[in-house]
Structure 1
Amino acid sequence: MRTELDAVAAAALEQYDFSPEAVTLVNVSENLTYRVDDRRTGRSVALRVHRPDYHSEAAIESELCWMDALREDGAAEPPRPVRARDGARVVTVVDARGRARHAVAFEWLPGRAPDPGGDLVPGYRVLGSIAAKLHAHGSRWRPPSSFDRYTCDYDTALGPQARWGRWQEGLGIGRPERDLLARLDGEIAGRLADYGTGRDRFGLAHNDLRPANLLVDGDRVQVIDFDDCGYSWYLYDFATSVSFIEDDSRLPEWTAAWLDGYARCRAVSADDLAMVPTLVMFRRLLLVGWIGSHHEYAAEAAELGAGFTRGTCALAEAYLAGEFLTPSPYRSR
């Protein structure tokens, strides 16, 4: 499998004007990301190879379109895409199974993600302010008529055709787990329906704004990986920022810091605050499905395994009892 995927990356690189003397796989998730070093010129890029049937070429171009607008308007500094020899920003190759695979090369940015073992409170405050700026921009920006990005709502995340995998097919799902998580699912569905999708709370967002998608270089902080950008609840960006670590005892501190940073740039209502636990559990249940559908090739999913489902059940019990991430620790000051 690895040889086949590396061949796709090599075929994509043939369409660019640089000599890839060193190609290193750095991440496997929805997509594959390689670091490509051209030692002749000293240039490095990040090559993202998309998995089949995830985003269309038009959807990827739309992602790049919003990144352009954010950069031009000074709302964020996402990496610039590198054009292929023919001027294209999205290249397409055919893999060994005859499937079209899209790829994009981005400039390689300096910096590192925040240290997960360190004090993440300052980072979450920065994440909150960045999210607010992205949302403010997305709410006023008028995309072109060709703009095509998905919507992340209950139906696409947890419904029968769940985009990231059905939680019912997650790892370690037996009868007790299914019954408990079905109750959780129903509660989430009801609360999201009551909250609604008004323009003040639902719109264009990053949708994967984790600390791992920040690059810190001195005083400069840049956001990367807009691959999941689309339309969702704005505070879902907080839920994504605590992906896989929703059971950490520091969650209330991170929540308070994120909301503090967010509220300095964009208003947060009492209704918004009340929805934070639900959006976190919405994301957590989505990830149960993601692990179930990705564990055979994504190392992170394989490592989390059935233990993530057990942890989700424990969180579900607390949430259904009204004891998960209660509003008081992070009420606006």
Structure 2
Amino acid sequence: MAGMYDDQLIETLRQGAIGLLDEWGLDPQTNVELLTISENATFRAEEPETGRQIVLRVHRPGYHSQKEIESELDWIVALRQEGIVETPEPLVVKNGKHLTSFEMQGEQRFVAAFAFMTGVEPSPTENLNSGFEQLGAISARLHQHVRTWKRPSSFVRKIWNFDTTVGPKPHWGDWRDAPKLTKDGEQLLERTCLELKRQLNVFGEGPDRFGLIHADLRLANLLVEGESLGIIDFDDCGFGWFGYDFAAAVSFFEHEPIIAELEDSWIQGYRSVAPFSEEDARMLPTFVMLRRLLLTAWIGSHSETPTAQDVIETYTAGTLVLAEDFLTRT
């Protein structure tokens, strides 16, 4: 997967998205600019005369199937209809569906569009305690919703368990291919994996702790507008441990001393909405380590993305420090 996006490919995807503008009633002269690249390429489209803006997400082939993408959008629609969270509206195309596509080099590229949501990404240098209390409450509302929501019969999303994160069937690549990983480091992470697997097996996957989750509630996917906290990018949503949503929220700054405080704030917010047992709380550091190791693999397999480029020189070394601490504490 490394190197899956380059300037030429991004421009080709942009042109493909431009060719679909009429599906959402946009003028052919609408400006389309790249917002982000990660698993997918995301563009902002702005109509020059009206100022109307929407977000276009062009999916990379081979990651999510059409049914998986449609299932994500079904969940978002349900969350919005029931007022569970603030999140952008998925927009329908002319045939009334939420998904369209274009063909590129013999491959079908699915495209989903969303209403543009204003707000700014929180910074890890800010006082995040109140935000994490709010995020804990939002996470609890999401988890409460999925416990009672009757999913469509066609609903399918990926499973985020040990095997599919850092085990033998990883969705985001093998952590052993992480940049700058030494042989000694690999041995340390092997021991870490064994301990993670042991703890997760003991904790189990009962319905009180494992279900449909956002799975990527990191700061880049949060938008602050005054007192409101919005959530974007459900692209990684799937079936995993509810506590994993906290681990995702501290992605890329898991090593900071403030994590313990943020954990307390998140739990406090969660418990204001739904139960969160002491057993659940004790597992949060385990989920943080699991997520850190998963991201270490992701950086190796997505090294061309700006997010990976920002941390690629030091992230593996930081993972080793966290792994040493994790094993010492357990």
TM range (shorter): over 0.9
Q: In 2, distance between residues paired with 1:152 and 1:250?
A: 26
Q: Is the counterpart of residue 213 in structure 1 residue 221 in structure 2?
A: yes
The 5-angstrom pairing of residues 93-132 of structure 1 reads: 93-96=102-105, 98-132=106-140
Q: Is the 8 A contact 1:135 1:205 kept in 2?
A: yes
Q: Any runs of at least 4 consecutive aligned residues in structure 1 with deviations exceeding 6 A, and if so which?
A: none
**1:74 offset after TM fit, Å?**
1.5
SS in 2 for 1:317: helix
Q: Is the 8 A contact 1:12 1:91 kept in 2?
A: no
* 1:22-49 per-position Cα deviation (integer Å, ceiling 9, x unaligned): 2221111111111110112321011111
Q: In 1, distance between residues paired with 2:257 and 2:228?
A: 29
- 1:247 is matched with 255
Q: Is the counterpart of residue 268 in structure 1 residue 263 in structure 2?
A: no
Q: In 2, distance between residues paired with 1:319 and 1:173?
A: 18
SS in 1 for 2:229: strand
SS in 2 for 1:115: coil
Provide the TM-score with structure 2 as the length reference: 0.94
Q: Is the 8 A contact 2:88 2:114 kept in 1?
A: yes
The 5-angstrom pairing of residues 1-333 of structure 1 reads: 1-15=6-20, 16=23, 17-19=25-27, 20-96=29-105, 98-295=106-303, 297-322=304-329
Amino acid of the structure 2 residue aligned with 1:179: Q
SS in 2 for 1:26: strand
**1:7 offset after TM fit, Å?**
2.0
- 1:326 is matched with none
Q: In 2, distance between residues paired with 1:278 and 1:315?
A: 11
Q: In 1, distance between residues paired with 2:41 and 2:16?
A: 14
Amino acid of the structure 2 residue aligned with 1:13: I
**1:211 offset after TM fit, Å?**
2.4
**1:4 offset after TM fit, Å?**
2.4
SS in 2 for 1:321: helix
Could you list the runs of 5+ residues in structure 1 that have no partner in the other structure?
324-333
Q: In 2, distance between residues paired with 1:181 and 1:234?
A: 24
SS in 1 for 2:314: helix
**1:189 offset after TM fit, Å?**
0.5
Q: In 1, distance between residues paired with 2:183 and 2:115?
A: 48
Q: In 2, distance between residues paired with 1:142 and 1:88?
A: 20
Provide the TM-score with structure 1 as the length reference: 0.93
Q: Which moved more, 1:162-171 or 1:20-29?
A: 20-29
- 1:330 is matched with none
Over aligned residues, Cα RMSD in angstroms? 1.4
Amino acid of the structure 2 residue aligned with 1:276: L
* 1:79-101 per-position Cα deviation (integer Å, ceiling 9, x unaligned): 112222343321112223x2221
Q: In 2, distance between residues paired with 1:317 and 1:229?
A: 30
